[in-house]
Amino acid sequence: MATINDVSQLANVSIATVSRVLTGSRGVREQSRKAVLDAVRELNYQPNTIARNLARQKSDNISILLSAEDQVRFAKMLPYLEKKLSELGKHMIVHFFHNEEEQGKRLQKLTESSSEAVILLGGYHTDLQSPKLLKVDNKNSDDNSSLNYDYSQAAETATRYLINKGHRNIGLLIDSRDDQGSKDMITGLKVALQEFARPLNSQLIFTTTPSSDQTIISLVKNNRKCTAMIVKRDLQAAEIMNQLREFDLHVPKDLSVISLEGSQLAHYLTPKLTTITYPYELIVNIALTRLESILSEINVYDPPADVHTITGRLVTGDSVITMQ
């Protein structure tokens, strides 16, 4: 028996487009609509009417799914998101996962539930497509259901700031060499270094490991190779600060640190952390525009290129020193 995935592949359109055509929603290009209908006839596809009617029932619930490790990162976003959803008459229900397998299971269950929409904050890369799914900062996602923070621009801004502060050997702490956010961070570092005719030292690009303590100890032992470190998260900066103290070293005197996050934690660290602040209000506002499209069952939001990725801004603290 043919499935909606079979129709999607034969028509060469997304599952969301197939769903819009079958439910009679507006905003579908005539060429795409014809391709879907032709595929339906060729495959003799029979939509599950019962399941579709259940999916149309309104619950006023919006499910938010995020990693337990990302609670700090999204701490400022969640209250603002809840406020905005409340203004739309919707209820926010937050769900957590602890690993990639659990994310997949919860995401599948939520997209098939009575929730009107599901917002995935961060997390592992997923190929799951659903007309009710919106991805925010999901690794490696570059489709129109994903809204991404521009880590390339953030790393470039941070590197340029450090160079202007007299730093020549700048380290970079990434999650891995495979995820898109980390690749973008390396790209941003390269762009800024090239702008100042500086070579890229691959030995100063560090990768986190499951044991964060060992990663930070490795950074500390090699810190004399660099005078500044760019990290992805504020919590990583906090760990570096703590490990440095164990070696009787301090930020920023012995190592300057700048983060690409700018969560509430950044304001409580000593010294106060310099960051490229994650623009959570802007991200929420754009996400809500897409969400309204999902709720209206039109779901044809097509963001311009300069909105698909969101840029942060430099907020100076006391964690970067000017080199003499």
Q: For 192-239, how does the pLDDT look when each residue is reduced to its tens digit (9 = 90+)? A: 999 999 999 998 898 876 555 566 666 666 655 789 999 998 988 998
Assigned architecture for domain 59-150+280-310: 3-Layer(aba) Sandwich (3.40)
Averaged pLDDT of the chain: 82
Give the end-to-end CA distance of the chain in Å, rounded to a whole number: 72
CA distance 24 to 34: 13
pLDDT recorded at residue 209? 66
Beta-carbon neighbour count of residue 100 at 10 Å? 13
CATH number for the 4-54 domain, one of 1.10.260.40, 2.30.110.10, 3.40.190.10, 3.40.440.10?
1.10.260.40
Does the domain at 151-278 match CATH 1.10.10.10? Answer given as no
pLDDT bracket for residue 95 (50, 70, 90): very high
pLDDT bracket for residue 46 (50, 70, 90): low
pLDDT recorded at residue 190? 97
pLDDT recorded at residue 300? 44
Of 180, 183, 189, 184, the residue nearest 156 (C-alpha):
189
pLDDT recorded at residue 57? 56
What residues have CB less than 8 Å from 21, skipping those under 6 apart?
A: 28, 32, 33, 36, 37
- The answer, yes or no, to whether residue 43 has pLDDT greater than 50, is yes
Q: Are 307 and 295 in contact (CB under 8 A)?
A: no
pLDDT recorded at residue 299? 45
Regarding predicted confidence, which is higher, 164 or 60?
164
- The answer, yes or no, to whether residue 15 has pLDDT greater than 80, is no
Which residue type sits at 108?
Answer: Q
Residues of the chain with CATH 3.40.50.2300: 59-150+280-310, 151-278
Of 137, 118, 129, the residue nearest 179 (C-alpha):
137
